[in-house]
């Protein structure tokens, strides 16, 4: 039996976590869930949104499924997501973006993957207040981190029958930092002659994505651009409520939805568990449970195709009603 860390989050996190656990159990797969609490709800009792016990659980189990946790805005604790990625060296953020059945969007042929460097850039957290009117934030780009994320992108392309990897930068302006990322991309691309390398500036990419996303296959980006572009691509397929994500390192992997903790609908049985369920499906593939992943994915897709949806994507079902329909389709 697999032992997997489950960070059930805060806000709507516990509700959608319960939904996903229930669906996986109904599929016939037994998982020993190591349930860990984190986020705003534990600050008062433990003094931090990310207790050390959570990190130790992930290190021991190697795989985690994480529901959303609240990220403080402005002053306050460091983001749980950023700290997890840093402390566990989860250097690759993987965001597959593909149309789902039953969810109408402007485009019906979206099938791309965002690979985002996860540990440095402006998200390194090196900031200082120079004086009352001035703050500095330092952008860190290293050759090692750039080369390994580019290698990850090309390896992903090879393993998943992708044909092109496109490097996204603003190297025309940030000639040293983004220039180093681009230089690293060019070097790594030489090792993958069967995959077409491509280069584009991030502002041009954003324009082209909203015109015709079918032009793109695998995108590899520094941290900040990856964060922004991956949310843009989520909008192409129906929004954050259906967007999955994974953070992968050499020793651990954390799978999570992209959306936030939505405290405004906490406890109202309105939350959409689709994104967390899609992340769990990717997690099952990662641990080798492909048959169960396929079984759950088919049930989810049938549920959506039949028009059974939560309110955020045009339906009327509650969280528990949606969960029950997915289970009935297993």
Same domain, 112 and 88: no
Three-class secondary structure assignment of 3-22: EEEEECCCCCHHHHHHHHHH
What CA–CA distances, in Å, run from 184 to 124, 141, 225, 269?
19, 11, 17, 47
For residues 21 and 319, is the Cβ–Cβ distance under 8 A? no
pLDDT of 73 strictly over 90: no
State which residues form the domain around 135: 106-236
E strands in the chain: 2-7, 31-36, 63-66, 92-98, 111-117, 127-131, 134-137, 164-169, 196-201, 218-221, 244-248, 253-257
Any idea which of 249-253, 257-261, 322-326 has the lowest mean pLDDT? 257-261
Residue 77: predicted pLDDT:
66
Residue 156: predicted pLDDT:
96
For residues 253 and 90, is the Cβ–Cβ distance under 8 A? yes
Residues in Cβ contact with 269 at an 8 Å cutoff, skipping those fewer than 6 apart: 15, 318, 319, 320
Residue 286: predicted pLDDT:
93
Residue 76: predicted pLDDT:
62
Any idea which of 139-143, 260-264, 288-292 has the lowest mean pLDDT? 260-264
Same domain, 84 and 156: no
Any idea which of 35-49, 227-241, 254-268 has the lowest mean pLDDT? 35-49
Residue 292: predicted pLDDT:
98
Last residue of a domain, one of 193, 214, 236: 236
Same domain, 258 and 219: no
Taking the complete model, does pTM exceed 0.85, yes or no?
yes
Same domain, 124 and 231: yes
Decide: helix, strand or coil at residue 226. helix
Q: Which residue has the higher pLDDT, 279 or 1?
A: 279
pLDDT of 266 strictly over 80: yes
pLDDT of 301 strictly over 80: yes
CATH for 119: 3.40.718.10
Tokens standing for 85? 């990625």
Residue 197: predicted pLDDT:
98
Same domain, 56 and 80: yes
How many structural domains compose the chain?
Answer: 2
pLDDT tens, residue by residue, 205-231: 999 999 999 999 999 999 999 999 999
Q: What is the mean pLDDT of residues 78-93?
A: 88
Last residue of a domain, one of 236, 269, 300: 236
Q: What is the mean pLDDT of residues 33-56?
A: 90
Same domain, 131 and 224: yes
The Cα 127–Cα 284 span in angstroms is: 38
Residues in Cβ contact with 312 at an 8 Å cutoff, skipping those fewer than 6 apart: 239, 241, 270, 272
Residue 79: predicted pLDDT:
77
Residue 123: predicted pLDDT:
84
Residue 289: predicted pLDDT:
97
Q: Is the dihedral of CA 173, 177, 181, 187 positive or negative?
A: positive
Residue 16: predicted pLDDT:
97
For residues 43 and 77, is the Cβ–Cβ distance under 8 A? yes
E strands in 56-195: 63-66, 92-98, 111-117, 127-131, 134-137, 164-169
Same domain, 44 and 119: no
Residue 80: predicted pLDDT:
84
Same domain, 96 and 113: no
Decide: helix, strand or coil at residue 239. coil
Q: Which residue has the higher pLDDT, 39 or 182?
A: 182
pLDDT of 173 strictly over 60: yes
Helix H or strand E encompassing 40: helix 40-46
For the beta carbon of residue 313, count every other beta carbon within 10 angstroms. Answer: 17
Same domain, 280 and 325: yes
Residue 71: predicted pLDDT:
66
Same domain, 232 and 111: yes
Tokens standing for 148? 């390994």
The Cα 117–Cα 83 span in angstroms is: 14
Q: What is the bridge-based pairing of β-strands 253-257 and 31-36?
A: unpaired
For residues 197 and 167, is the Cβ–Cβ distance under 8 A? yes
Q: What is the mean pLDDT of residues 17-37?
A: 97
Q: What is the mean pLDDT of residues 264-283?
A: 95
Residue 72: predicted pLDDT:
62
Residue 74: predicted pLDDT:
55
Tokens standing for 12? 């709507």
Any idea which of 77-91, 95-109, 125-139, 248-262 has the lowest mean pLDDT? 77-91
Last residue of a domain, one of 218, 236, 254: 236
What band does 75 get if pLDDT is binned at 50, 70 and 90? low
Any idea which of 53-62, 83-92, 206-215 has the lowest mean pLDDT? 83-92
Same domain, 173 and 277: no
| C-alpha torsion angle, residues 246, 249, 254, 258 (rounded to 10) | -30
Same domain, 139 and 198: yes
């Amino acid at each position: 039996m697999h032992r997997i860390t489950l960070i059930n989050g805060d806000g709507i996190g516990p509700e959608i976590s319960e939904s996903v656990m229930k669906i996986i159990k109904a599929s016939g797969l037994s998982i020993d869930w190591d349930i860990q609490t984190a986020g705003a709800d534990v600050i008062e009792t433990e003094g931090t949104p990310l207790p050390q016990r959570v990190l130790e659980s992930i290190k021991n189990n190697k795989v985690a499924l994480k529901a959303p946790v609240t990220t403080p805005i402005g002053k306050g604790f460091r983001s749980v997501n950023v700290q997890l990625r840093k402390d566990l060296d989860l250097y690759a953020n993987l965001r597959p973006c593909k149309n789902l059945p039953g969810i109408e969007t402007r485009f019906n042929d979206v099938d791309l993957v965002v690979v985002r460097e996860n540990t440095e850039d402006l998200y390194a957290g090196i900031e200082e207040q120079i004086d009352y009117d001035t703050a500095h934030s330092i952008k860190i780009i290293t050759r090692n981190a750039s080369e390994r994320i580019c290698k990850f992108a090309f390896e992903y392309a090879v393993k998943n029958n992708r044909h092109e990897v496109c490097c996204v930068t603003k190297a025309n302006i940030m000639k040293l930092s983004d220039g180093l990322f681009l230089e690293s991309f060019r070097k790594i691309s030489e090792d993958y002659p069967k995959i077409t390398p491509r280069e584009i500036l991030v502002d041009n990419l954003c324009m082209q994505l909203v015109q015709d996303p079918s032009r793109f296959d695998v995108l590899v980006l520094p941290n900040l651009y990856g964060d922004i572009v991956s949310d843009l691509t989520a909008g192409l397929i129906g929004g954050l409520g259906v967007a999955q994500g994974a953070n992968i390192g050499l020793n651990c992997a954390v799978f999570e939805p992209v959306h936030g903790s939505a405290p405004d609908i906490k406890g109202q049985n309105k939350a959409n568990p689709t994104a967390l369920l899609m992340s769990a499906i990717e997690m099952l593939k990662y641990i080798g449970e492909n048959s169960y992943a396929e079984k759950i994915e088919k049930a989810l897709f049938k549920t959506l195709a039949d028009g059974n949806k939560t309110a955020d994507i045009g339906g009327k079902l509650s969280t528990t009603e949606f969960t029950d329909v997915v289970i009935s389709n297993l």
